[in-house]
Amino acid sequence: MKRKILLISVLLLFVYLIIGCGNEEGSQFKKVRYEKTVGDCQNDICVNIDLSYYQMTGETDAATSFNKLMDKMVFGKMAYSEDSGMQNKDELVTNIIKDYQDFKIEFPDARTGGYEQETESEITYESKSLITFKVVTNLYSGGAHSSHLVEFLNIDPETGKEKAIMDFITDKAKFSSYVEKLLRKKLRMSDTDKWADFTFMDKFNLPENIGMTTKGLELVYNEYELLPYSEGITTLIIDNDKLEEFRNSGK
């Protein structure tokens, strides 16, 4: 009898540890999905929206801040322009659908047009002072081809607000110089080659999207940021050992 009670107690403890640990790790974030399809996407232009992204749980200031940032990153691409401000996401989707329906009425036989957006996201790094989300989007809003976009959202887990990844770099000049050498090597450029002769840049610039991963720091030059669409996205990785040469201690 005692042995049976002991066995049950051990099993309950094991279940508690499994459930407890599972809830503690990443429990403040949940992945949600937003799907909307209008039209026959197999045979005609249509609206097809399939978004998988994170939201912070709870009714806290941190959750409000983070969720607004993520919504803007995911749904903001539906806005007519970056200057139009962040509208309600349902309103943005409604506008996209209305534009599509008006277009179909005016051009019923059109073979290009419509709106398609697929977004996937993942947590690539998590610590007490920083959480990094990688958001990958395939977007078509008319024209000859779709676009592929990789973005990072680096946040302070306590406040839910965005953190500048470069704040973790002590010697920014040394870091920038090192990245420039990496990029020149990747593009097979010499130390004296002019950037304007090989890229869309007149001078070297760090990319707009930089994020932490478990392997190190990932730097992404998206389409048209560095090279033509046909060349795709350019990615650089600085591994953790090398990164320690540039990082602020304790972060």
Which pLDDT score, from 0 to 100, does residue 27 have?
Answer: 59
C-alpha dihedral sign at 208, 212, 213, 216: positive
pLDDT band at 85 (very low <50, low <70, confident <90, very high): low
Phi, psi of 117 (to 5 degrees): -140, 125
Final residue before a domain boundary, out of 159, 176, 205:
159
Residue 9 lies in a domain: no
Do the beta carbons of residue 131 and residue 123 sit within 8 Å? yes
Same domain? For 107 and 181 the reply is no
Which pLDDT score, from 0 to 100, does residue 79 have?
Answer: 80
- Looking at per-residue pLDDT, the higher value among 89 and 238 belongs to 238
Same domain? For 132 and 117 the reply is yes
147 exposure class (CB count in 10 Å sphere: 0-12, 13-18, 19+): middle
Query: How many separate domains does the chain show?
Result: 2
Task: Say yes or no to pLDDT of 110 above 80.
Answer: yes
Which whole number is the average pLDDT over 53-66?
Answer: 96
State the CATH number of the domain containing residue 110: 3.30.565.40
Return the minimum-mean-pLDDT range out of 10-19, 155-164, 218-227, 231-240. 10-19
Same domain? For 71 and 112 the reply is yes
Task: Say yes or no to pLDDT of 123 above 70.
Answer: yes
Q: How does strand 209-212 pair with strand 234-239?
A: unpaired
Percentage of residues in the chain having pLDDT higher than 90: 78
CB count, 10 Å around CB of 212?
A: 22
Phi, psi of 17 (to 5 degrees): -65, -40
Which whole number is the average pLDDT over 82-93?
Answer: 73
39 exposure class (CB count in 10 Å sphere: 0-12, 13-18, 19+): middle
- CA–CA separation, 150 and 210 (whole Å): 10
pLDDT band at 50 (very low <50, low <70, confident <90, very high): very high
51 exposure class (CB count in 10 Å sphere: 0-12, 13-18, 19+): buried
- Per-residue pLDDT of 186-202, as tens digits, reads 999 999 999 999 999 99
Residues in the chain, total: 251
Phi, psi of 82 (to 5 degrees): -65, -20
Which pLDDT score, from 0 to 100, does residue 143 have?
Answer: 77
Do the beta carbons of residue 248 and residue 168 sit within 8 Å? yes
Which pLDDT score, from 0 to 100, does residue 145 have?
Answer: 84
Residue showing tokens 């790790």: 25
pLDDT band at 84 (very low <50, low <70, confident <90, very high): low
pLDDT band at 112 (very low <50, low <70, confident <90, very high): confident
Same domain? For 38 and 135 the reply is yes
Same domain? For 148 and 169 the reply is no
Q: Give me the sheet containing 216-221, strands edge to edge.
A: 209-212, 216-221, 234-239
Residue 17, SS3? helix
Residues 6+ apart with CB under 8 A from 27: 57
- CA–CA separation, 246 and 13 (whole Å): 44
Final residue before a domain boundary, out of 159, 185, 212:
159
Percentage of residues in the chain having pLDDT higher than 70: 84
**Residue 42, domain extent:** 28-159
Which pLDDT score, from 0 to 100, does residue 251 have?
Answer: 46
Same domain? For 76 and 154 the reply is yes
Final residue before a domain boundary, out of 99, 125, 159:
159
Which whole number is the average pLDDT over 49-59?
Answer: 96
Which pLDDT score, from 0 to 100, does residue 88 have?
Answer: 84
